[in-house]
Amino acid sequence: MKLNVARKDGILIITPQVKRIDANVASDFKSKLIDFLDNGDKIIVINLSKVDFIDSSGLGAMVLILRKIGTDGRIKLCKLKEGVSSIFELTRLDEVFEIHKSEEGALESLKTG
């Protein structure tokens, strides 16, 4: 799975370059995220602006990362499209993840908070 990766003030910004995060790419997504954690990244913003479709395989990958980061680090999601956002709500994962409208908002909240 293609990811765009940027770093700003020690924050890792990951923007998946795919329209769909389903079982076809989820395990690759998961292992790429784990690689970042293993390399010491602890503050991560995932920008989902390119993603039209996510299902439980994609959700599972992100929850695993959230659990792995634990209290050591922080993770924020941003730029969820309507369909994606509604699945976070349905599964109540919107209560578990910190979700921001814009990437700037996510970054700002990590600096101030």
Q: How far is the CB of 17 from other proteins (least distance, A)?
A: 16
- How far apart are CB 93 and other proteins at their closest, in Å? 7
Q: How far from chain centre, in Å, is Cα 31?
A: 13
Residue among 4 and 56 whose Cβ is closer to other proteins: 56
Pick between residue 13 and residue 75 the one whose CB is nearest to other proteins: 75
**Which residues would be at the binding site for other proteins (CB under 8 A)?**
20, 22-24, 53, 55-57, 59-61, 63-64, 66-67, 83, 87, 90-93, 95-96
| Whole-number Å distance between alpha carbons of 39 and 30 | 14
Write a three-state SS string for 55-97.
CHHHHHHHHHHHHHHCCCCEEEEECCCHHHHHHHHHCCCCCCC
CB nearer other proteins, residue 61 or residue 78: 61
The span from the CA of 95 to the CA of 113, in Å, is: 18
Q: What's the closest the beta carbon of residue 59 comes to other proteins, in angstroms?
A: 6
